């Protein structure tokens, strides 16, 4: 596919060439990402070779797909990943579990694109008692969002699937199949799965998560880096961010091409084909941005504390946007305010 951003890439290659040379000793950058439309810049960056090119010939990119955030965090804790695209709540959990040591958020990726889709005869929150609802994984971003919203509606749930209704975490593709088969009453899921449940499963949106946030803006995906990797290889992380900025630009400036890339990647990674009209509909619910929308993160942390999934909502130090702002300044783009 023809690249659309020669000016940006010329600048990024020049910046990479001006590095300290430390990358010559590094063989790999192990990067996690998800086969979701909410990870579109990641899919574009990997599949189009944007991230690999930005990293340079002396660094190998090893990209690995995951279903949900908690598995990514375990991989980072185990030393199996250096960086990942991920939702807010798993990043918060990693920061809290490690006493603020394990990870740093270095850029935003996506805002929006999550909803509670239910079967057609459920038209009110009052009808959810006794139902079974899915989320991608216990403790992931949509899982916390669903449980927090249910609590506001007066429903009690527990982490074992009991309570006034059952929350049953499962892989997104599995949830779609179960919803179509009538074995699930609904699911709080990211795009494209929410749109697929509508179009393929005959469901409808009971709650659009954007309606729960000021101006409809909330972080769905951002880019995190293991703190030790960031401290040991800032030049490499800067190159990764250069590629990330270009991938977000590609996604925004050429949505038709980006959708083709994302569709092919999701089919390859999940074995499930995404119809072009479904992808286009899902795309309209998303905004791709390098701004991590830090204002929404504190609220997500507070929700996790209320649900017993987190002991503290203290997030001081979770952001490190210095390298991102260096990249943005060099590209003539406005910096992101440091939280």
Strand order in the sheet with 132-134: 166-167, 132-134, 186-190, 114-118, 204-208
Nearest Cα residue to 318 out of 128, 47, 89: 89
Cβ atoms 282, 266 nearer than 8 A:
no
Provide mean pLDDT across the span 6-29: 49
Note the pLDDT of residue 308: 85
Task: Quote the percentage of the chain above a pLDDT of 70.
Answer: 92
Q: Alpha-carbon distance 97 to 100, whole Å?
A: 8
What is the pLDDT of the chain when averaged over all its residues?
90
CATH superfamily label, 114-215: Periplasmic binding protein-like II (3.40.190.10)
In this prediction the pTM is 0.83
Q: How far apart are the first and last CA of the chain?
A: 37
Higher pLDDT, 218 or 15: 218
| Residues forming CATH 3.40.190.10 domain(s) in the chain | 6-112+216-330, 114-215
pLDDT digits (tens, 9 = 90+) for 113-142: 999 999 999 999 999 999 999 999 888 889
Question: Kindly report the CA angle at 52 between 105 and 82, in degrees rounded to 5?
Answer: 35
pLDDT digits (tens, 9 = 90+) for 62-118: 999 998 788 899 999 999 999 999 988 889 889 999 999 999 999 999 999 999 999
DSSP state of 338: P
- The set of residues, in sequence order, having a beta carbon less than 8 Å from that of 2 and lying 6+ positions away, is none
Q: Alpha-carbon distance 339 to 135, whole Å?
A: 29
> So what's the architecture of 6-112+216-330 in CATH?
3-Layer(aba) Sandwich (3.40)
3-state secondary structure of 84: strand
> Does 312 have pLDDT greater than 80?
no
**Buried b / exposed e along 6-15 (16+ C-beta atoms within 10 A):** eebbebbeeb
Note the pLDDT of residue 118: 98
Cβ atoms 77, 94 nearer than 8 A:
yes
Q: Which burial class, exposed, middle or buried, applies to 71 when counting CB atoms under 10 A from its CB (0-12, 13-18, 19+)?
A: middle
Question: Left, alpha or beta for 56 (phi > 0: left; psi -120 to 50: alpha)?
Answer: left
């Amino acid at each position: 596919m023809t690249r659309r951003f020669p000016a940006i890439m010329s600048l990024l290659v020049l910046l990479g060439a001006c590095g300290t040379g430390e990358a010559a000793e590094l063989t790999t950058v192990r990067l996690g990402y998800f086969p979701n439309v909410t990870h579109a810049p990641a899919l574009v960056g990997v599949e189009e070779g944007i991230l690999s090119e930005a990293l340079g010939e002396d660094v190998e990119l090893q990209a690995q797909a995951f279903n949900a955030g908690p598995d990514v965090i375990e991989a980072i804790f185990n030393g199996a990943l250096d960086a990942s695209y991920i939702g807010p709540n798993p990043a918060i959990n990693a920061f809290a579990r490690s006493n603020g040591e394990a990870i740093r958020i270095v850029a935003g990726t996506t805002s929006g694109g999550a909803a509670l889709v239910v079967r057609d005869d459920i038209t009110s929150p009052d009808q959810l008692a006794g139902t079974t609802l899915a989320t991608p994984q216990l403790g992931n971003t949509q899982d916390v969002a669903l449980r927090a919203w249910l609590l506001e509606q007066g429903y009690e749930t527990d982490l074992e699937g009991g309570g006034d209704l059952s929350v049953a975490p499962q892989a997104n593709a599995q949830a779609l199949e179960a919803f179509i088969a009538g074995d699930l009453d609904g699911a709080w899921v990211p795009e494209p799965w929410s749109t697929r449940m509508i179009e393929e499963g005959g469901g409808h949106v009971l709650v659009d998560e954007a309606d729960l946030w000021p101006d409809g803006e909330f972080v769905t995906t951002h880019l995190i880096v293991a703190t030790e990797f960031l401290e040991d290889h800032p030049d490499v992380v800067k190159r990764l961010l250069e590629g990330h900025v270009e991938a977000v630009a590609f996604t925004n400036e050429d949505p038709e091409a980006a959708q083709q890339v994302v569709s092919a990647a999701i089919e390859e990674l999940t074995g499930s084909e995404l119809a072009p009209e479904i992808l286009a509909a899902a795309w309209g619910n998303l905004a791709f941005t390098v701004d991590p929308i830090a204002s929404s993160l504190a609220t997500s942390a507070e929700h996790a504390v209320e649900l017993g999934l987190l002991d503290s909502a203290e997030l001081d130090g979770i952001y490190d946007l210095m390298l991102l702002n260096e990249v943005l300044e060099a590209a003539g783009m406005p910096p992101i305010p440091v939280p």
